[in-house]
Amino acid sequence: MPIRGKATDAGIFNTSELALLGRVFDRLKVEGQTPGDGDAVASRIIANYMAGIKDEDELLALSKQALGR
């Protein structure tokens, strides 16, 4: 799963944070998504979380949009 790999590589998330990031990623997955698409979604989720978005529903909503919008 791209989100776990990216989050683990960053090395700054605890178990509960990884669970939250994973739930958001799972909710944003789309059938037929390429690995590159999954990586982009994972990056958006992590960037939004690191920017201070800790609420799961808000993180989900913001991570549907491309970064910088």
pLDDT tens per residue, range 12-44? 788 899 899 999 999 998 777 777 888 888 889
Average pLDDT over residues 50-69: 87
Q: What are phi and psi of 47, to 5 degrees?
A: -60, -45
3-class DSSP string for 14-67:
CHHHHHHHHHHHHHHCCCCCCHHHHHHHHHHHHHHHHCCCCCHHHHHHHHCCCC
How does the average pLDDT of the chain come out, rounded? 83
Total-model pTM: 0.76
52 pLDDT tier (thresholds 50, 70, 90): very high
